[in-house]
Amino acid sequence: MNTQNAGQGQVVEPIRLPPRRERLVLNLKAERVQETLQAMPAWKPTQDGWAVESVRTFADPETAAIFATCAVNLAGRAHRPLIVLQIGSRVMLTVFHLTKSGRMGKLDEATLNFAQGLG
């Protein structure tokens, strides 16, 4: 940095800080989330990108109900938020991430791993 004659109208070079590590970590997380999503063809991100959804069709409504019940049970045990909608023999699952303050957060690897475990 050029500090000579700084008080006499000289231009002082700005201090250049290294890039923030937090930004780098967030970018890497986003890349990993995208890679995980590509490996999960049954799951698609919602339009706003805050959740993932999967629609499954079963042979009959009873089988769909059994699957939906199992999914709700697993979500409860894992303390994961899950929205289940069953219409006849179709079940739509929506998985999202809640922050510690209870607000919806960006998708993370743990949330995607849970979704992947649901099938």
Asked, for residue 55, whether it belongs to a domain, the answer is: yes
pLDDT at 13: 59
CATH code for the domain in which residue 90 is found: 3.30.1360.20
Q: For position 8, what pLDDT does the model report?
A: 56
Percent composition of the chain: helix, strand, coil (DSSP 3-state, to 5): 40, 20, 35
- Convert the pLDDT of each residue in 21-54 to its tens digit: 444 344 446 777 778 888 888 999 888 888 999 9
Q: Is residue 31 in a domain?
A: no
Cα 39 to Cα 32, 36, 43, 83, 96: the distances in Å are: 11, 5, 9, 22, 18
Strand partners, 56: 91
42, 54 in Cβ contact below 8 A?
A: yes
Q: Is 20 exposed, middle or buried (0-12, 13-18, 19+ CB in 10 A)?
A: exposed
Answering whether pTM is above 0.75, one says no
Q: Does the residue 10 lie in any domain?
A: no
The pLDDT, as a whole number, for residue 37 is 82
Q: What is the pLDDT of residues 47-105, one digit of tens each?
A: 888 899 999 999 999 999 999 999 999 999 999 999 999 999 999 999 999 888 888 88
Report the C-alpha dihedral over residues 98, 100, 102, 107, rounded to 10 degrees.
-20
CA distance 82 to 95: 5
Indicate whether 15 belongs to any domain.
no
Q: Is residue 7 domain-resident?
A: no
Check residues 22 and 8 and name the one with the higher pLDDT.
8
Domain count, the chain: 1
In a domain, 2, yes or no: no
State whether residue 107 is helix, strand or coil. Answer: coil
Q: Which domain holds residue 54?
A: 42-119
Residue 99: its pLDDT value, please? 86
- The answer to whether residue 100 is domain-embedded is yes
Residue 37 lies in a domain: no
